Chain A
């Protein structure tokens, strides 16, 4: 039972354009959401997060949007750069189990010149 889903396994975007990565979840108890970025042969690194009390959080080129009614979040990267090419995982946690993050399956982003 995949509680956090990333339905696009891959995405290809031209440098300078916007990258939009999507994530859906099924558990309405999730109240905290994160995005991690993973390069090959490295562990995932934390990118940006959002609490369910907000619908948007921005950090430089990265913005995460949360639509609670649709149980959907998205990560926008603008402008996209070749160094953004990586696998992106969304993750979620609930207030009843803050020690446990549930990860999605990941989306491989390729930014080409």
Chain B
């Protein structure tokens, strides 16, 4: 069974801090994704990666960057956290394409 692990369930950071969200998958999947979930807005794609060192912008990449140095690991970076980045962040992976996605349990980030 595919396992997508997000390193933190809850994070509280201050405005201006640099924040790293880590995600690891154990099924040798090619594609990895970062989404954020907000009430009334559903899941919105921030960035995705289809190969090591490759990345593509999603719908809301502003204020974020990503890193994929190894196939199993995909990191989301908030260079300078802001309060409007308070959200639930969900990492996902897929073998090919976007379907079906296997999600981690999410990281709830609060920026104060």
Residues of A within 8 A of B (CB): 4, 6, 9, 32, 34, 36, 41-46, 49, 89, 91, 93, 98-101, 103-106
Residues of B within 8 A of A (CB): 4, 9, 31, 35, 40-45, 48, 50, 56, 58, 90, 92, 97-106
Other than the given A100-B98, A106-B42, 8 more pairs (CB < 8 A) read A43-B103, A44-B103, A49-B100, A98-B99, A99-B31, A99-B48, A100-B45, A104-B42
Tally the A-B contacts, defined by beta carbons under 8 Å: 61
* Inter-subunit contact A105/B40 (CB<8 Å): yes
* Inter-subunit contact B44/A43 (CB<8 Å): no
Q: How far is the CA of A99 from the CA of B48 in the complex (A)?
A: 8
Q: Which residues of A contact B43 (CB under 8 A)?
A: 44, 89, 91, 103
Q: How far is the CA of A9 from the CA of B105 in the complex (A)?
A: 22
Q: Which residues of A contact B106 (CB under 8 A)?
A: 41-43
Residue from the set B35, B58, B100, B106 with the largest chain A CB neighbour count within 10 Å: B100
